[in-house]
Amino acid sequence: MHPGRVSWKATPQSEGAQTFTAHSELMRLVLDRVTAMAGENVTKTILHQIGREIGWTAFHHSRSQTAPPTLTTGLDEALRLHGFGKLVDLHEIDHRTNVTYTCTIETKGSNCDLIRGIVSRWLESHLQEKALNIEGPCSSQGQHICVFRITFRK
């Protein structure tokens, strides 16, 4: 058995996480093909857009709950729901004319583009405002941590 599978079995995941694993294997094949035909930037854009759809859906799902979550608990739930990761830290940096949210996310795989999409659309939905800037590349220094900076007008 592949060594990677042993640790996967050692830490049972939610049903959602397993579903995502199965989907992501199929998705990986499709995206590899897209990358071969259209290039890596197209694949990154597609992943970002899929993430944004997930973020939007998760936000609207959360609104239907009897006690809608806060900005942080809702984002954490949105990420955990399908096994994308969990929110480690979210803080605001207040500038004079805008505000930047720095989001740190612990993740199992390299889904930076997808997660950036989820996070940015979740914040936009919650704040009811379009982001001024979604920092492109993940500024992660480690393998399992993603860091994004998303800026809104104040």
Give the shortest CB-138-to-Zn ion separation in angstroms.
3
Using rule CB under 5 A, residue 75 touches Zn ion: no
Q: Which stretch binds Zn ion (CB under 5 A): 23-31, 57-65, 82-90, 141-149?
A: 141-149
Give 78 or 146: the residue with its C-beta nearer to Zn ion. 146
81 half-sphere exposure, CB direction, 13 A CA radius: 17
Give 102 or 140: the residue with its C-beta nearer to Zn ion. 140
| List 140, 149, 151, 152, residue binding Zn ion (CB under 5 A) | 140
